[in-house]
């Protein structure tokens, strides 16, 4: 018997709880009360209702089953996930080029590369090529930095 709260069971429980929460939220919100198919909550309630049944069944199945997920290298995954979030949050403010170079460097470091030339060159060249192409050739601008309008 594995630990009672395996990763898989936690995920299925979270799905169930989120579904319950969303269903409750459909009753708390104020919408124009036109009834039936006119109500904005008509369709989502059907979908969430089915999802609730499925999620509950899923929790039962996962509690009965007893398999554990393969172990993984958690550290690079955590670092890269964090880098993704930071990347997309920073991108509108500091621009595509700067944020892309940063996220590229973090990914390469997290994957265990240590050669400084490679670590710098790959992100700078890839991001630079994309910015050059879109901002200056195609005139479809990616977000630029507050420092220089051209990158």
Left, alpha or beta for 95 (phi > 0: left; psi -120 to 50: alpha)?
A: left
Residue 108 binding another protein, by CB under 8 A: yes
Strands (E), the chain: none
Q: Which CB sits closer to another protein, 1 or 131? A: 131
- Of residues 41 through 60, those in contact with another protein by CB under 8 A are 41-44, 47-48, 50-51, 54-55, 57-58
Q: Which residue has the tokens 């991001």?
A: 127
What is the DSSP annotation of 100-113? HHHHHHHHHHHTT-
For another protein (CB under 8 A), the number of binding residues is 69
User: Is 52 within 8 Å of 23 (Cβ atoms)?
Assistant: yes
Q: Which CB sits closer to another protein, 1 or 139? A: 139
User: Is 74 within 8 Å of 59 (Cβ atoms)?
Assistant: no
Residue 76 binding another protein, by CB under 8 A: yes
Q: Which residues of 14-30 are buried (b: 16+ CB within 10 A; e: fewer)?
A: ebbeebeeebeeeeeee
Positions touching another protein (CB under 8 A) are 7-8, 11-12, 15, 22, 25, 31-32, 34, 36-38, 40-44, 47-48, 50-51, 54-55, 57-58, 61, 69, 72-74, 76-77, 80-81, 84-85, 87-89, 91-92, 96, 100, 103-104, 107-108, 110-113, 118, 122-123, 126-127, 130, 134, 138-143, 146-149
């Amino acid at each position: 018997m594995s630990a009672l709260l395996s990763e898989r069971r936690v995920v299925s429980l979270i799905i169930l709880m989120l579904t319950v929460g969303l269903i409750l939220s459909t009753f708390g919100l104020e919408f124009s009360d036109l009834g039936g198919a006119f109500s904005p909550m008509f369709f989502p309630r059907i979908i969430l209702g089915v999802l609730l049944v499925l999620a509950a069944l899923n929790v039962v199945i996962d509690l009965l089953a007893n398999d554990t997920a393969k172990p993984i290298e958690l550290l690079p995954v955590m670092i890269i996930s964090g880098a993704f979030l930071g990347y997309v949050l920073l991108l509108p403010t500091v621009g595509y080029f700067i944020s892309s170079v940063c996220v590229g460097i973090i990914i390469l470091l997290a994957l265990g590369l240590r050669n400084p030339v490679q670590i710098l060159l790959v992100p700078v060249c890839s991001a630079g090529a994309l910015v050059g192409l879109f901002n200056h050739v195609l005139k479809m601008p990616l977000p630029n930095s507050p420092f220089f309008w051209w990158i």
